[in-house]
Structure 1
């Protein structure tokens, strides 16, 4: 094999390794599944669908490193821009966050934040003005043996998914949900930690009055925080989760084996919930068949994509907006597949 071929093969193998990190594919609220921004297909579409997840340029499923903690990239991932739609959720309800994959070697905490977007709505808010408060965190579960058992391990055991509860007393309004995994497998060296933030637009309903103080996204962490510059290979050890403290009223949810119906079709008018697909499990607190769910409110004329599957009852969307079942997810970039096939062919030489 030539030097150039070896170099190309090494580079492509590295790209495949990076791509294995993962991203959120969808979130589920009361049986209705909302598609997230897909970094593998949407950047290559002329008119990508309107979704509730913020766009980002992490087409390699990459991360934000500590040397970028003071940059806007740490807020909602690299070059993130506002999602065009938002999902409606009641204070006290749970949100199921589904990742496509997560590597077992990437141990670390799972953290969730909310930030109030104000009256302008999260579709238009300047992300650098958002102040985040922490509503959920799971860090080191067992540090008796290296590298320990972490929130990320619970996420993997739960089918690469995470459940978070919106605080029951939170004031109604427009919020960004910031969901994040921090991988610490290289956290024992400066700039070695890897942050994977994901953001979603929510409209929270209810009669709560709590308006917690928050922290700007660019001030959440410092590169030398004890929870960032951390050695997970010297057991036994303890760990301090980085970022602000949990707010009063934050709820802790047991993650192991919990799940929720992960597919539903938004329809208008009255309908009853159909049985979940055979491959889907449900939580013990599954929504009742007659439950009414708001699919999403978006700018007039826009469409929010939800996943096909079981039927859920929905309220009428905002004026001019529609909610529709998506077609099957587009295949990943053909160029990426060609590169992978080419890398395999080179390996045979």
Structure 2
């Protein structure tokens, strides 16, 4: 089965992080290749906003005409960086280590993955890594040099999909505006 996935990347957060690139079969495809990279790594804290799907104000993205070929059952790796220029070699190159919370990934089947905005229904969760043995999913990504492994379910039917990788920082969740989501 063949999946075609342009990725929705971004930094929705005061967690200040950007989903900058994707690795498929161990090969990093490069910053912005098939990934909609935002121009700003700051927060989108309104979870009811259409910007949560694929970024948007205050994090406008640059589109990519590249559609990535991924097979059902493959594991892909979202690469997260504090800024596009950071290497990931130091923990704060990913995001501030105090920003703990879950990591998630979603897919949405679309007609044209290169142009679909991602806004609206149809998203379904394929990965979640919350708190396990005192360690949050975000800590695993930070400690893994920004690598967020996502297994594409083997039952996914062929077609074009959008992939949204997400990290949620919970350090501000106890007060408004609350948790900080980075899709």
**TM-score, scaled relative to structure 1:** 0.42
Q: 1:166 to 1:20 in 2, by over 3 A?
A: closer
Aligned to 2:143: 157
Q: 1:179 aligns with which of 165, 168, 172?
A: 165
Is 1:33 the counterpart of 2:28? The answer is yes
Larger CA Rg, structure 1 vs 2: 1
Q: How far off is 1:80 after superposition? A: 4.0
| Preserved CA contact (<8 Å) 1:107 1:152 | yes
| Preserved CA contact (<8 Å) 1:117 1:130 | no
Aligned to 2:122: 131
In the aligned structure 2, how far is the partner of 1:151 from the partner of 1:196? 13
Aligned length: 156
SS in 1 for 2:119: helix
Aligned to 1:88: 69
**TM-score, scaled relative to structure 2:** 0.77
In the aligned structure 2, how far is the partner of 1:130 from the partner of 1:36? 27
Structure ranking higher in strand proportion: 2
Q: How far off is 1:180 after superposition? A: 0.4
Structure ranking higher in helix proportion: 1
In the aligned structure 2, how far is the partner of 1:19 from the partner of 1:189? 14
Q: Which has the higher contact order (CA 8 A, sep 6+)?
A: 2
Structure 1 unmatched ranges of 5 or more:
1-17, 38-50, 143-147, 198-349
Deviations, residues 294-331 of structure 1 (Å, cap 9, x unaligned): xxxxxxxxxxxxxxxxxxxxxxxxxxxxxxxxxxxxxx
In the aligned structure 2, how far is the partner of 1:161 from the partner of 1:150? 14
Aligned to 1:140: 131
